[in-house]
Chains A and B, each alone.
Chain A
């Protein structure tokens, strides 16, 4: 007689909420949204199948490309500023007096704990309101005042600054935790081999932080693609002068809920998916291949 090589029992029921929720709030909306993007722009009823028409229209839509360009610039800008800045802050944080560490971490994190709409409002009031602190400060150096919400260049810059303000704290905390988990002995070895502060950072810290860095970048990237609140509060869903603040999600929102063109908006949203996947792929290519070592 032999044992029935059946399955080891596993608590199947624990998967049920996930599967159910996944079906209801991911799979069905995905399929339906995609179907919607193939339908004509009528609300709820009497829509007809138009195939890839909306996607083809997007190719001719100048505003869509503006939104795409803005979003790309914004994503690149936030990562380019936040990553080095938070690496520096994390290194400093680890060198600070133990008691102050918690307070500093909290202060850096404060914007991240604040709802982005509130953050945008505060940003508007303090940094770049018509007569805000930033302009006032710049005037001391005979610069500005700048039209932070009139000049297309500064609109983009202020969107990036806002993201920096919001996310640097979280990125710093993650990176600092990653640095904490690097064994001291590695630094001591590097030191005894004659590596200076910068060399230790480049040859020990950075490679060992790779996973955390990838995580932070992926997070910022995903967030950049769905940025909505900041621009919405500052500029409404219009996009501001010269469409400088027009982002993909706000354009899709505007198309759907202001113009009522659901099909087009759905096509716009869905065109985000391959874009995001492409960007993440690039990210992993850039960071993931270093030394070809598996994490």
Chain B
């Protein structure tokens, strides 16, 4: 049964700017859903709508089956964590953490007890009397977290809470957050612009763009089966190579012709079709950097790969990134480390890479939507 549901939620600012458009989503109890997208995609607005900090223009939001979108923020029983932590500068760590309970009229002793307990579990036990200005970034972050979890809200709303931390601390907090979620099992909506954060944290990921849902899926399916070009390009680092071109058919099967190269998609009778079943000819080929392999020159025949000139390569330790210019397109390929000792690519040199067609994706050029390969069976 869905716990937190959005039904056709829309938000229009100043009468014209559509920040969120027809957003429908169901989240189960205890689920951790990440909302991801480029800046301005409406993800923060959506979070603020959920919190009640903004009024929605259309649609409704239900919590445990009851509409909550007309309730003020304090009565929705949700807790929010802000990017800048939003700690009250004139209150100590203890006062900050206990603020919510005090607002709800809990007894002083009770508040201070639960503050102490939570603070201890977050390693803030010794800092209760300090003011936010006397804390490090990580400690502030924990204080804000403590404030959020202290009153056991029904939903956690996280607005990029990790983005103000340095890389190392962010990594650590990410793990801690995930653990915490495993322990508390509270439904959580986590907004981020960082695709790797979204991938590692989320049970499910919602990809937003211009206020519209692009895809909702588990991290793995999102990575392996992106619904459209945007999602495909958004995940992975470096992102998927997207090469424009068109489909050709001949005796050898179905071919993709790009700028200056041609690869075989399938042998025999085959077509690329969109969701409605229509055949599409103008397509974009998507290949992740790890979808390339370099085989011995003699093995790589025409039609199995692309050729380009090496622009640059980057040694990453465990692997190596190769930047190629193929005609007018740029391609990034990921090679296993150690590979270069066998065949060191020199800048400017021509190099031939083959594409693993099992890992290739196709999108309609016009709509950007995913295409599926259908092989004609017996005709």
Contacts and interface: CB of A to CB of B under 8 A. Distances in A.
Chains A and B share a contact (CB less than 8 Å): yes
B70 A2 contact: no
B115 to A, nearest CB: 29
Interface in B240-279: none
Contact of B57 (A1, A3, A9): A3
A1 B60 contact: yes
A2 B55 contact: no
B70 to A, nearest CB: 7
B72 A2 contact: no
A194 interface: no
B69 to A, nearest CB: 5
Contact of B58 (A2, A6, A8, A9): A2
B56 interface: yes
Interface residues of B, number: 12
Which of B55, B60, B69, B72 has the largest number of chain A CB atoms within 10 A?
A: B55
A5 interface: yes
A3 B72 contact: no
Interface in B52-101: 54-60, 69-70, 72
Contacts of A5: 55, 57-58
A135 to B, nearest CB: 55
Interface in A1-29: 1-6, 8-9
A6 to B, nearest CB: 7
A3 B56 CA distance: 7
Contacts of B7: 1
B60 A8 contact: no
Contacts of A6: 55
A164 B58 CA distance: 60
A9 B72 contact: yes
Nearest to B53: A8
B29 to A, nearest CB: 23
A27 B57 CA distance: 37
Interface in B24-59: 54-59
Contacts of B57: 3, 5
Contacts of B58: 2-3, 5
A130 to B, nearest CB: 57
A8 B55 contact: yes
Contacts of A1: 7, 60
A4 B70 contact: yes
A174 B57 CA distance: 45
Contacts of B59: 2-3
Contacts of A3: 55-60, 69-70
A5 B58 CA distance: 7
Contacts of A4: 70
B291 to A, nearest CB: 45
A270 to B, nearest CB: 40
Contacts of B70: 3-4
A292 B57 CA distance: 38
Contacts of B55: 3, 5-6, 8
Nearest to B57: A5
A49 B69 CA distance: 59
Nearest to A2: B58
A67 B56 CA distance: 60
A1 B8 CA distance: 9
B363 to A, nearest CB: 34
A4 B59 CA distance: 9
Nearest to A6: B55
Interface string A243-284: 000000000000000000000000000000000000000000
A148 B57 CA distance: 71
A6 B69 CA distance: 12
Q: Which 5 A-B pairs have the closest CB atoms?
A: A2-B58, A3-B56, A8-B55, A3-B69, A5-B57
22 contacts: A1-B7, A1-B60, A2-B8, A2-B58, A2-B59, A2-B60, A3-B55, A3-B56, A3-B57, A3-B58, A3-B59, A3-B60, A3-B69, A3-B70, A4-B70, A5-B55, A5-B57, A5-B58, A6-B55, A8-B54, A8-B55, A9-B72
Given A3-B55, A5-B55, A6-B55, 8 more contacts: A2-B58, A2-B59, A2-B60, A3-B56, A3-B58, A3-B70, A4-B70, A5-B58
